[in-house]
Amino acid sequence: EEYRLRSCVDFKPYEGETSYISFTKLSGCWSYVGDDKVGQNVSIGARCDTKSIVQHELLHALGFYHEQSRSDRDDYVKIWWDQIEEGMEHNFNKYEDDFITDLNTPYDYESIMHYRPLSFNKNESIPTITTTIDYFNNIIGQRLDFSAVDITRLNRMYDCANTHTLLDQCSFELINICGMVQSSIDNADWVQTLSSPNDTDHTLVGRCRDSGYFMKFDTSSGEPGSSALLESRILYPKRAEQCLQFFYKMSRVAGDKLVLWVRSDDGTGNVHINKKIQTITGDGDDAWKVAHVSLKLKNKFRYVFQGIRGSLTSLGAILIDDITLTETVCPNAIWQIKNFPNLLNTTALGSSLTSKCFYNSEGYSFGLRVYPNGRLPGYPEYLAITFHLCSGENDAVMEWPAKNRQVTIIAMDQDPDARLRMSSTRSFTTEGAGHQIYWNRPTATSGALWDADCSCYRGKDTGWSTFISHTHLKSRSFLKNNDLIITADFNGTK
């Protein structure tokens, strides 16, 4: 899905083609470079089964070499040949530009194709590769996601004009507001508004003069029930599943409403069949929040935001910003943790925050724990995240143990451009024999613990002690508005 979101490159199940990729669990993580026209293995060996490593190996198969193999690499990094493990020197080969091409892009320290400083090293703490600019020694070898330059190169190599699954996105920075239109059947308007100290935008968090716009519906005047409608341009889906993500703020007094509608094709080519999808009621919390709304539309449509003034005492506004519409499935769970930098400063090693319990589409209930300053003594500079099952209303009819299901957890990079996000993603598949302690039905007799806050049993935790480093967490837009956003899925494997 990451390739589909960011490029025109796609993969399909094998149907006898001469060119194909076979994912195998051999020794290590590796792939041949380019298409050999006879089919080839991509090894996803032990400890290789993370999203970023699979992305890395697939880029090899698509024709990309390591970043430090460029002909101009000596201007940017130094290779310490005497520190390289014997027999592994070939991994640091440099190639001339008549053999590999940089596609007219600059050297990219942030590339997912770059080695880490300690790659193939003889001595545990002595690097084999260092950068000419010291700052980037902590950047090279990142395994979060594609970099912006990685995406540029991929799209240039394969002449991509569009992506497969990105239908629409808008941060309202341009005067045309991404082709969105004001409705003629309402009694108020949404207004494109420049960020101010009182109302900061979500895109730039009010940090830039003359930039940072959002859409605003003023609820401080007018009759209760007065509303404003903002419609997207007409969109043409290729799949029957979409996820609309957006950020919203409902300030001051509780009670104002933000309603999401869709207008779809009536079968004659006209887009005017209305369907209410979701209503969000303001709770008086004057902060940006994230929403994910599932759509299931097969024909052309518009999505519509309706702001409604709640009462005569409404004194605030409804704000929306940073919309992303993809042809993907929305996550099962969204956990937005407020004021996370303060938690980093005040939470002790081994102490955790616990989410509410969520439900997946099958009916299983699950929860998450976040350890801001590490779960284990050896990793205080890392955020740890664990997953557990919760007892729930559907347990009597669910399959136990809950094996052969995939857990995917994402710490979200809140970049407004979905193609440039470098979120941290981890996943694993639940197992059966020997692991029932994690996947059995959570009860008093299965080792689960009662939690009065949810009036439920919470099962044993499993997860990652090094989910993301504090260095990476404080980079990019993981903590925009001081919020950490985590999404989670718990789905059956195909």
Catalytic positions, written as ranges: 57
What is the tally of helices (H) and strands (E) in the chain?
Answer: 6, 27
Nearest to 152 by CA among 101, 212, 77: 101
Retrieve residue 116's tokens: 């880490």
* 66 annotated ligand binder: yes
Helices (H), 79-190: 148-157
Cα 463 to chain centroid distance, Å, stands at 18
Q: Measured between alpha carbons, how far is 450 from 458 in angstroms, rounded to an integer?
A: 6
In the three-class reduction of DSSP (H, G, I as helix; E, B as strand; rest coil), residue 309 is classed as coil
Q: Measured between alpha carbons, how far is 285 from 255 in angstroms, rounded to an integer?
A: 11
Return the exposure string of 33-55: e unless at least 16 CB atoms fall within 10 Å of the residue's CB, then b. Answer: beeeeeebebbbeeebbbbbbbb
Q: Measured between alpha carbons, how far is 218 from 313 in angstroms, rounded to an integer?
A: 13
What is the residue whose two structure tokens read 């993907």? 328
Q: Measured between alpha carbons, how far is 67 from 136 in angstroms, rounded to an integer?
A: 14
Q: DSSP assignment of 437-456, as one string?
A: HHHS---TTTT-EEETTTTE
Q: Measured between alpha carbons, how far is 111 from 116 in angstroms, rounded to an integer?
A: 11
**Pairing mode of beta strands 353-354, 365-371:** antiparallel
What CA–CA distances, in Å, run from 77 to 96, 158, 329?
16, 28, 41
Strand ranges (E), 56-180 = 77-79, 129-131, 166-170
Tallying the residues shown for the chain, one arrives at: 494
* 60 annotated ligand binder: yes
Return the exposure string of 8-21: e unless at least 16 CB atoms fall within 10 Å of the residue's CB, then b. Answer: ebeeeeeeeeeebb
Omega of the bond prior to 401 within 30 degrees of 0, cis? Answer: yes
What CA–CA distances, in Å, run from 359 to 393, 428, 437, 462?
10, 18, 20, 18
Residue positions forming the annotated binding site for Zn(2+): 56, 60, 66
Residue positions forming the annotated binding site: 56, 60, 66
